[in-house]
Structure 1
Amino acid sequence: MQTEKLTIVPPGRALEGAVSPPGSKSITNRALLLAALANGTSRLTGALKSDDTRYMADALRAMGVGIEEPEATTFVVTGNGALSAPGQPLFLGNAGTAVRFLPAAIAAMVSSEVVVDGDEHMHKRPIMPLVTALQSLGVDITAPSGCPPVTIQGTGSFASHHVVIDAGLSSQYVSALLMAGPCSGKPFTVELAGDEIGARGYIDLTLAAMRAFGASVEQVTPSIWQVEPTGYRATDFHIEPDASAATYLWGAEALTGGKIDIGTPATHFTQPDARAFEVISAFPDMPAIIDGSQMQDAIPTIAVLAAYNNTPVRFTGIANLRVKECDRVRAVSLGLNAIRQGLAREEGDDLIVTGDPALAGQTCPAEIDTFADHRIAMSFALAGLKTSGITILDPKCVGKTYPGYWDALASLGVSYEQEIPK
């Protein structure tokens, strides 16, 4: 089967202009769920419209929630404080937030069998920590492969109201349980098993969104949260731009010595990936060791920049990148070595990028296998701003979170050579 290809033509100049990144995927999918669980009509503005949020919205519609889209960045969500059983399995593509968030809400509110499924890539993404946690609450839930599909035999309630969750692989498991908590009928306690948690900053996003929709939740200790059985109330909610999307624009600015106005200062973001701005701003003298544990989705962006850094960079704390939309540690390593062998290597779960500023201006014919991962495609496009011959396979995969990405770069003066299979 032939694959669509997009070759970036280096602009040969600083990129300057204004680009508005789309709304935050992380916040949009949290807000969609919370608005759906609320009683009344909520208006979500600044929202992201992409594959991931479409899957979430369609799943909620299938469970009786009214969702209208009067504008390009607006959802109007009407809920009745309940979810009903869908008529068929919920197909969620490779939308990790939707697949992780929905089972807990379904278990708390739906008295019927519900199957949560995804595509071939989702079938490789682990979900057992969440399944095990829900089983401990008396939920009849199974995931035979340890990954989706997940089958929930719902009773519309939890038998217990204190759950211990292993969040070492993903903070999304914790967010799923926290968001279900206000609908559980009794005070609900979420406790971490140990201190390991992937990207703790995303828990803060969850708590902020919950409180905006009327929830009462208190962080008792760094590893224990107490949630009151308030349910949710409808509200109008504005969603900030996506910090992960902003990293590509910050990277393009740094690589080309340009000036790109994204409309939001880096200090105004609440998402963890905004921490990448400080590291990117240090280019071409980024630090020798970069801990990616709290800005995971930004690491592919920074790793591609590191290929043009003055000195080598070791990325640590990135083991969780192996269970994202693809094994991103491997995908970044393979992509960099396709540009020039020896540019990157893996040591355990660390990634070392050797860095060679002389790559700028060279021609290095390289086809980048994106593994259908939007972040691999968008990150490696940055290499094409400085090095000729960089070809992105399956460029449309950016539709998962940033459908307008290629148009955004084009608006700054980037051109492409496109090959579409017949």
Structure 2
Amino acid sequence: MTLPIATITPVTTPLTGEVTLPGSKSVTNRALLVAGLARGTSRLSGILRSDDTRYMMTALRAMGVEITETDETTVSVTGTGALRPASEPLFLGNAGTAMRFLTAAVALVDGTTVLTGDEHMQKRPIAPLLDTLRAIGVDATAPTGCPPVTVHGTGRFQPGEIEVSGTLSSQYISAIMMLAAMGDAPTRIRIGGGKIGAVGYLHITAAVMRAFGAQVDFPSDAEITIQPTDYTATDYAIEPDASAATYLWAAEALTGGRIDIGTAPEDMNQPDAKAHAIIAAFPDMPPEIHGAQMQDAIPTLAVLAAFNNTLVRFTGIENLRVKECDRIAAVHQGLTRIDPDLASVEGDDLIVHARPDLAGKTRDCLIDSHADHRIAMSFALAALRIHGVKIEDPDCVSKTFPAYWHVLRSLGVEVEITR
């Protein structure tokens, strides 16, 4: 099958304008699930409309949750405090949050649930989450260690003390946290190794849970406690997506522009908002960037680093290997297609060998997006400064930022998509 290709014409003037950001994917899918588990009707405003959130809504509806779409960014979610068995497998595309969160949540179904996804999802590991679920009495299996997953739910699980590795994806831990509030006794999650990795994402989970009446505490760096409160329906506003904002902040930095996104980075609670300070330092970004607390921003920062004055090493990014694709490998591949010496990999560290002289040059190359929205959107930034950079499968941005190409055009960027 021949995939569409996006060709971006480099800009010669600063990008300026106003942009309305989509809602946060991370917050939207957490809020949809928690609202679906709550008793009563919740109103969610500012939601993201994307592939990932549509998969979550479709799955919840299949399990008896009523979701009414009021307008493009507002939905009403009516739950009964329980989930019903779905009549067929839940297909979740390549939506990692939906797959991981629902794999835990369907323990509350009194019956068998199969969760599956597309070819990319079926390569994404989920075995560590299943190990944790089995430790609390949930019958969950995945023969390959990746989806499809089969969960034989009983409508309950065994709360108590759970130990998980601090090296796990934060999404696994968030999945257990959201399930734990539905228990009949307190749950304490202890982090093996003494420290939570991407703790910022866990605080997002806790904030959503608390908004719906849950009691979540972090007594130490290695411990989370959740009380058996269940969830109470409420009205909840979802903040704009900080990961999407990183592309616009980087476009400002690369072109000397000024793009008003209507939200200050310090008003965002998402971990990726931390990327703003690093982007603001361009073209003198720090020599080492530890990415554990802003994982989805790393592709953006890596492409920006290609135009930095000095080399940048990205550390703490090993979890990028199990995202929609192996993002360390994909970013390295894309940068070296622009120039063979532009990047290297040492273990799980990505080193970008800055080449500010590339701006204005021509490098005829096709960037393989690996069907990963963040790879496609990040390398579009390189095309703002380098002639000849084309992006394969640009439609994959629909996963989290469906209007991305339209937004670039609204700022004066010439984007041609051939099919």
Pairwise same-fold verdict (TM > 0.5): yes
- TM norm structure 2: 0.98
Does residue 198 of structure 2 align to residue 199 of structure 1? yes
Partner secondary structure for residue 181 of structure 2: helix
> Quick check: 2:405–2:415 contact (8 Å CA) kept in 1?
no
Deviation at 1:224, TM superposition (A): 1.6
Aligned residue for 2:381? 382
Aligned residue for 1:51? 51
Aligned residue for 1:248? 247
Does residue 179 of structure 2 align to residue 187 of structure 1? no
Deviation at 1:219, TM superposition (A): 1.7
Aligned residue for 2:119? 120
Aligned residue for 1:37? 37
Per mean C-alpha deviation after superposition, the further-off stretch among 139-148 and 296-305 is 139-148
After TM superposition, list the pairs within 5 Å mapping 1:171-250 onto structure 2. Answer: 171-250=170-249
> Quick check: 2:158–2:183 contact (8 Å CA) kept in 1?
no
Q: Distance in 2 between matches of 1:5 and 1:284?
A: 29
Aligned residue for 2:407? 408
Partner secondary structure for residue 183 of structure 1: coil
What is the aligned length? Answer: 419
Aligned residue for 1:26? 26
Q: Distance in 2 between matches of 1:196 and 1:214?
A: 26
Partner secondary structure for residue 132 of structure 1: helix
Q: Distance in 2 between matches of 1:191 and 1:64?
A: 33
Unaligned runs of 5+ in 1: none
Deviation at 1:419, TM superposition (A): 1.6
Aligned residue for 2:362? 363
Aligned residue for 2:2? 2
| 1:24-61 CA-partner distances (Å, limit 9, x unpaired) | 00000000001000000000001101000000010000
| 1:328-380 CA-partner distances (Å, limit 9, x unpaired) | 01100110111111101111111111111111111111100000000000000
> Quick check: 2:159–2:180 contact (8 Å CA) kept in 1?
no
| 1:261-283 CA-partner distances (Å, limit 9, x unpaired) | 00000110000000000000000
> Quick check: 1:129–1:167 contact (8 Å CA) kept in 2?
no
> Quick check: 1:17–1:261 contact (8 Å CA) kept in 2?
yes
Aligned residue for 1:310? 309
Aligned residue for 2:96? 96
Deviation at 1:167, TM superposition (A): 4.0
> Quick check: 2:159–2:185 contact (8 Å CA) kept in 1?
no
Letter of the structure 1 residue corresponding to residue 23 of structure 2:
G
Q: Distance in 2 between matches of 1:104 and 1:110?
A: 10
> Quick check: 1:198–1:320 contact (8 Å CA) kept in 2?
no
> Quick check: 1:44–1:236 contact (8 Å CA) kept in 2?
yes
> Quick check: 1:165–1:173 contact (8 Å CA) kept in 2?
no
Letter of the structure 1 residue corresponding to residue 279 of structure 2:
I
> Quick check: 1:170–1:197 contact (8 Å CA) kept in 2?
no
Aligned residue for 2:328? 329
Q: Distance in 1 between matches of 2:340 and 2:217?
A: 50
Q: Distance in 2 between matches of 1:226 and 1:81?
A: 21
Letter of the structure 2 residue corresponding to residue 244 of structure 1:
S
Deviating above 6 A after TM superposition, structure 1's stretches of 4 or more consecutive aligned residues are none
Letter of the structure 1 residue corresponding to residue 112 of structure 2:
E
Deviation at 1:410, TM superposition (A): 0.5
> Quick check: 2:195–2:222 contact (8 Å CA) kept in 1?
no
Letter of the structure 1 residue corresponding to residue 354 of structure 2:
G
After TM superposition, list the pairs within 5 Å mapping 1:256-335 onto structure 2. Answer: 256-335=255-334
Q: Distance in 2 between matches of 1:350 and 1:399?
A: 29
Q: Distance in 1 between matches of 2:23 and 2:276?
A: 18
Q: Distance in 1 between matches of 2:183 and 2:168?
A: 25
Letter of the structure 2 residue corresponding to residue 88 of structure 1:
E
Partner secondary structure for residue 194 of structure 2: strand
